[in-house]
A and B are shown apart, each in its own frame.
Chain A
């Protein structure tokens, strides 16, 4: 049955148990008849009640909209809506670690209710109100006594390998997840991990042995038939994975932005003034999602977050995002999502048909974008003409709160110190002129002692 204004999501094709579709801008999930027994067990065994709202997304069964594919349909669910989808290659170390631990906890709890996770994909976890939750309600299946954990390999590839590589090699290796959509292959991990990691007994078992086992038995179809894993063995396996993941730490070594707030040319008074201005400008914007671009550790994201329900706090520095997320956890903040994105190359659309994972821009536009102390990095370090910058911001927001940093500013001078100044057009006048093509400048204010100017602009209606 065709429902107008309804479309199936591009990422939802793997699991025959059901699929996700959008109706009236809301995510819905069709449960197919083939999944009926498992769904009923999830709901009646007490597992759903145990997990919902904490580790599993809660949902309602609805009759409107009708199923998208009526012949196969058992139920239609409307889950709690996730305001912003993020992907594991956009998470910092501790976000990936917390998502891994949540997955293991869910599997352990599921076994108590005679169910097991059939997937352990990192893409099934989303950050909702500051915490990782499983969004795929159809990931559970009834547990048969002695059944091995079919998602063990996926867990290792999606979580364990990237966390080990980030811990033992380089935190930037989480970007391998962008290339390997089903997680980083174990044989690749074996080659990239240093010896001191590989000789750890747990790593030896879950990575070395696992990878060699994969290769050895690859051509021997049916070799795993009749294998049994006892409940006690499963508990031991999960406990060992949990201990291994919990023990992994990244020290958040000092990077480019580690000390940014104590290394700016703002006086304490100017910083207070900037905070006040940002608060004012955000309060004059329409309600909706805020994206703080170049957010660093989230000082201004938190100011926006006091007024916006959801603030996405984006930075390209792994240490800044890590510190920002740890602050979210420490303060139990529910409205802030720190993410790791390089704005000069934002997350692209990837996967099958380029439709499985959305690009950053497809997940917009935001109601309001904050671009504070950012534009000089894009214009000078990345040679971006002001017109192109205006275009970009015009595509991602309705209201833009942007700080112009003049060329005389010591931070800009620092960027120019090792290169020729080929930016004759980088002036306040040219900035206003270029941004006025797409935006109407509503107000602006100079920040004293700094020469910097803060603007609030709104997107002009698109013409023609």
Chain B
């Protein structure tokens, strides 16, 4: 499932953040971290959606090339 694949990517790319030292400053500004994490997570979703969209195009293109190839050549001749 796409969701699973996306989530796995998030997990892999998130791993370095999990290694950050723990700092007990949450009362100072929990907002910045929240926005940064959101941007990070959203960027991966955007990337995976883009890959998904392009992957379909590539498949269509490649598939189309093999299926319609002879007809195109016929037309060229």
Contact = CB atoms under 8 A, between A and B. Distances in A.
Nearest to A227: B39
Given A185-B26, A204-B10, A240-B3, A218 B42 contact: no
Contacts of B14: 204-205, 208-209
B10 A205 contact: yes
A204 B4 CA distance: 12
Interface in A201-228: 201-202, 204-206, 208-210, 212-224, 227-228
A202 B36 contact: no
Contacts of A214: 26, 30, 33-34, 37
A153 interface: yes
Nearest to B9: A201
A342 B28 CA distance: 36
Given A205-B10, A224-B35, A232 B23 contact: no
B38 A218 contact: no
Interface string B52-75: 000000000000000000000000
Interface string B11-22: 100100110111
A351 interface: no
Contacts of A451: none
A152 interface: yes
The binding surface of chain B is classed by DSSP as: helix
Given A152-B38, A213-B33, A216-B23, A201 B46 contact: no
Nearest to B37: A213
A215 B24 contact: yes
A212 B28 contact: no
Given A148-B39, A153-B30, A230 B46 contact: yes
A200 B6 CA distance: 12
B43 A233 contact: yes
Nearest to A208: B18
Contact of A222 (B32, B38, B42): B32
Given A222-B32, A224-B32, A237 B38 contact: yes
Contacts of A237: 38, 41-42, 45
Contacts of B76: none
A391 interface: no
A188 B3 CA distance: 26
B10 to A, nearest CB: 5
Given A217-B29, A228-B39, A204 B11 contact: yes
A52 interface: no
A233 B32 contact: no
B36 A205 contact: no
Contact of B20 (A187, A216, A219, A223): A216
A212 B46 contact: no
Contacts of A168: none
A237 B6 CA distance: 11
Contact of B22 (A209, A212, A232): A212
Given A204-B10, A227-B35, A232-B46, 13 more contacts: A148-B42, A153-B31, A201-B8, A209-B17, A212-B17, A213-B17, A214-B33, A215-B26, A216-B23, A216-B33, A219-B23, A223-B36, A232-B45
24 contacts: A148-B35, A150-B31, A152-B35, A153-B30, A202-B10, A206-B41, A209-B18, A209-B41, A210-B34, A210-B37, A212-B18, A214-B30, A214-B33, A214-B37, A216-B20, A216-B33, A218-B33, A221-B28, A222-B32, A224-B35, A232-B46, A236-B44, A240-B3, A243-B3
Interface of B: 3-4, 6-8, 10-11, 14, 17-18, 20-46, 48-50
